[in-house]
Amino acid sequence: MIIDLTGYQAVVGGATRGLGLAAARQLAASGATVTLMARNERSLNEALASLPADNGQIHDYLQVDYLDFPGFKRHSEKFFNGKKVDILVNNTNGPKAGTVTEKTTEHFQEAFDLLFKTYHHLTQLLLPGMRARGYGRILNVSSVSVKEPLPNLVLSNSIRTAVVSWAKSLAEAVALDGVTVNSILTGAFDTERIRELTEQQARATGNTMEALLEARKASIPAGRFGDPKEYGYLLAFLASPMAGYITGTSIPIDGGAIKSL
C-alpha cells in the first residue's frame, strides 16, 4: 500500500517538535503540501526546512500562539481566508501538569482555551471548504487519558475528553459530505514532552529521570516508547482517501498500555 497525498493541502498544529513535527514530515513525505503552526518563528523555519518536498511542494507556516486565543483567532482567520485545506491535524502543546486539588477554575479555563477552543475554531474555519469540495480529514491529537486518566495531568484528562466527545458529534454531522473526523489517543512516545513531564516527576519524588523512564517503559506491553515516525504513519493513513470509511473513532496508539476495552 502506497499512501499518495500529492495535491492535498495539510495544516498541522504544534508542528515544530515531537508528534506534530513527525506528522508534518510524514504528510509531506507522502506528497502533501503542509502548513505548520506554532508560536516560535525560529523553530518554525527550522521545521519548515526539514520537510520533504520531493513533489516540488512549497510548504508554509503560520506563527501563532495557541495560549492567546484572541490572537490565534485573528491570525488564523486572516491567514486561511480563501485557502484550500484538505487535512487538518489539530494539535497543541499540553497544559501544565497538576492535580485536581491544585488547579483553579482559571487554570481549567486556560486549558479549555488551549485545547478545545483552538481545535473548534480552526475546524469551523476550514470545514466549509472541505464540505463544499466533498473531501476533508480532521485529525485531533488526543491522549490515552480519555480512557484512563493519568496522574497529575487533570487539565489534560478533562479537556481532552471534551474534545473527543465533540469530535464524535462532528463526525456524525459531516459524514455524508465526505469529511471524516477522528481522534488519536496518544500513549508514551519518545518526545520532548515525556522527558519534560518525567523531569518534573523526578524533582517532586526524588527519583532519577532514568529510573522513572525505565519504569514507565516496563509498564507498556510493547516494552518501549513509541517512535514519533510511527505516529506519522498512522496520521498519513487516516488523512488519505484509503481511510474514507473510518470516522468518529478514537484510535489508541500506545503499545498496548490501555487496560480497558
* Residue 88 backbone phi and psi in degrees, to 5: -120, 120
69: cell is 486565543
Name the percent of the chain lying above pLDDT 70.
100
Is 45 in contact with 121 (CB distance < 8 Å)? no
Is 254 in contact with 188 (CB distance < 8 Å)? yes
**64-96 burial, b if ≥16 CB within 10 A, otherwise e?**
bebeebeebbebbeebbeeeebbbbbbbbbbbe
Strand segments (E) across 32-135? 33-38, 60-63, 87-90
Is 181 in contact with 126 (CB distance < 8 Å)? no
Output the pTM of the full model: 0.95
> In the predicted model, what is the mean pLDDT of the chain?
96
**231-240 burial, b if ≥16 CB within 10 A, otherwise e?**
bbbbbbebbb
Domain 9-187+228-252 has CATH 3.30.1490.440: no
| Tens-digit pLDDT profile for residues 44-69 | 999 999 999 999 999 999 999 999 99
| Tens-digit pLDDT profile for residues 94-116 | 898 899 999 999 999 999 999 99
Report domain extents, the chain: 9-187+228-252, 190-225
**CB neighbours (10 Å) of residue 164?**
18
pLDDT band at 23 (very low <50, low <70, confident <90, very high): very high
Q: Picking from 12-26, 115-129, 189-203, which range would have the lowest pLDDT averaged per residue?
A: 189-203
The pLDDT of residue 254 is: 97
Calculate the CA 221 to chain-centre distance. 24
| Tens-digit pLDDT profile for residues 187-228 | 999 998 888 888 888 888 888 989 999 999 999 999 999 999
Bridge partners (DSSP) of residue 37 are 13, 62
User: E strand or H helix at 138, and its extent?
Assistant: strand 136-143
The pLDDT of residue 195 is: 87
The pLDDT of residue 194 is: 85
Q: Count how many Cα atoms sit within 13 Å of the Cα of residue 151 in the half-sphere of its side chain.
A: 4
Contacts of 102 (CB under 8 A, 6+ apart): none
Contacts of 105 (CB under 8 A, 6+ apart): none
d(CA 255, CA 261): 14
The pLDDT of residue 56 is: 96
Per-residue pLDDT, averaged over 115-127, amounts to 98
Q: pLDDT at residue 150 above 90?
A: no
